[in-house]
């Protein structure tokens, strides 16, 4: 597999996608990069500051819950704490809207 030359979707510069990198991407089942390394690093840096207190990233786990308010089942992106009421998406945004109004 020869080195590939890819045009960065961000800045338009062409950059080398080396054989070794191709292997790395293939092993992880990633699609080929669309951006050069500086642009990717810049994006990653922006991403990190944009979402605060994230950590981890990637595919997030969803947890099945039963809404304390309306009794519907839903899934939430955080682990429900035993003993604490958990709300479904609807009730959660409704209670948030209420809090904001008060």
Contacts with Zn ion, residue ranges (CB under 5 A)? 8, 10-11, 36, 39, 67, 69-70, 88, 91
Compute, in degrees rounded to 10, the torsion defined by CA atoms 85, 87, 93, 94.
Answer: -80
| Neighbouring residues of 3: CB distance < 8 A, sequence distance ≥ 6 | 16, 17, 18, 19
**Among candidate residues 86, 51, 84, 95, the one with its CA nearest the CA of residue 66:** 86
Please, what is the minimum distance in Å from the beta carbon of residue 50 to Zn ion? 19
Please, what is the minimum distance in Å from the beta carbon of residue 32 to Zn ion? 14
- Closer CB to Zn ion, 22 or 69, in the complex: 69
Please, what is the minimum distance in Å from the beta carbon of residue 72 to Zn ion? 5
- Closer CB to Zn ion, 54 or 85, in the complex: 85
């Amino acid at each position: 597999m020869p080195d590939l030359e890819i045009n960065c979707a961000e800045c338009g510069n062409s950059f080398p996608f080396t054989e070794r990198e191709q292997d790395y991407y293939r092993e992880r089942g990633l699609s080929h990069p669309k951006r050069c390394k500086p642009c990717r690093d810049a994006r990653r840096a922006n991403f990190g500051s944009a979402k605060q207190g994230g950590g981890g990233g990637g595919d997030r786990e969803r947890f099945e819950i039963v809404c304390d308010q309306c009794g519907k089942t839903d899934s939430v992106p955080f682990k429900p704490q035993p003993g604490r009421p958990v709300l479904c998406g609807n009730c959660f945004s409704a209670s948030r809207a209420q809090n904001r109004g008060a």
